[in-house]
Amino acid sequence: MMDDDAIDVLVRGHYEAVEPLADPPRKRRSMRYLPEIGLAAAVVVVALSGALWWSGAVSPREVDVSSDGGAGESTAGVVPMDRVPAVAAPGDAEEQRKAAARARQAERDAAREAQIGVRPEPEIRWLSGDDAVLDGPDVVVIHVEPWCPHCEPGLETLLDAADGTDVVVVAVSALTRGSTQDEFEALLDAVDHQGPAGIIVEDDVEDTFASEASPAAVRLRHGVVVEAGHPRVIAEGIGR
């Protein structure tokens, strides 16, 4: 049998051999979180850098878009920051759109104002009526196109306003976008237009109506424009 001293030596030797092995698992458990910690730190750095740049605290003067991987050794691909296109905020983009629309409307209004007093002489292939009708005492000429969704209502509005008055409504079309005469005549039939109508030369549309858009209308007195604009606006003036 082993005496007590021998047993004590064996037990102590066992623990001295086993205990050092208990540390590696603890180290492995702590190292397991290193990738997550590194990723979180990288996200924080990127976020702070972006915030500083956006606030103006960091304002790089140039952006390197060279093909050398951004090493900065070549200036051929370096773009000054003041030449980098700015990205408008959603609110700014909406304001720019509204401003552009107002500018276009102002141009149209100016062109229509300039049309007052003009005597247009459009070339028209008449389906009914003739050139003499344009020299009448009170004539409204409307430009419509079969493909235009607002043209039929615009013509109908004018016809309703002129009903019971001495105003003569003339409908013309340039048959744009591949439209046909049959489609134009179908549009006239849809609103029961029995007055003068014809096919206008496309190049004469803008000279007559101060606009290439449809619908558009002018009011003539003895062949001279006294009002130009949208058919709804012209209709409101009939009877005044």
- Say which residue, 193 or 25, is predicted with more confidence: 193
Q: Is 102's pLDDT higher than 80? A: yes
pLDDT in tens, 159-217: 999 999 999 999 999 999 999 999 999 999 999 999 999 999 999 999 999 989 999 99
Closest CA to 217 of 194, 238, 203: 238
Q: Residues 69-77: what's their mean pLDDT?
A: 47
Do 26 and 32 form a contact (C-beta atoms < 8 A)? no
As given in the structure block, the two tokens for residue 191 are 């609103």
- pLDDT for 104 equals 83
Q: How far apart are CA 60 and CA 168, in angstroms?
A: 68
**pTM of structure:** 0.60
| Range of weakest confidence among 32-46, 100-114, 218-232 | 32-46
Burial of 69 (0-12, 13-18, 19+ CB in 10 A): exposed
Question: Per DSSP, which regions of the chain are E strands?
Answer: 62-64, 78-80, 124-128, 139-143, 168-173, 197-200, 216-221, 224-229
| Mean pLDDT across the chain | 79
* H or E element in which residue 85 lies: none
Q: Is 59's pLDDT higher than 50? A: no
Residue 134 per-residue DSSP state: G
Q: How far apart are CA 197 and CA 177, in angstroms?
A: 19
- Confidence category of residue 108, pLDDT binned at 50, 70, 90: confident
- pLDDT for 105 equals 79
For 201, residues 6+ apart whose C-beta sits below 8 A from its C-beta are 122, 123, 124, 174
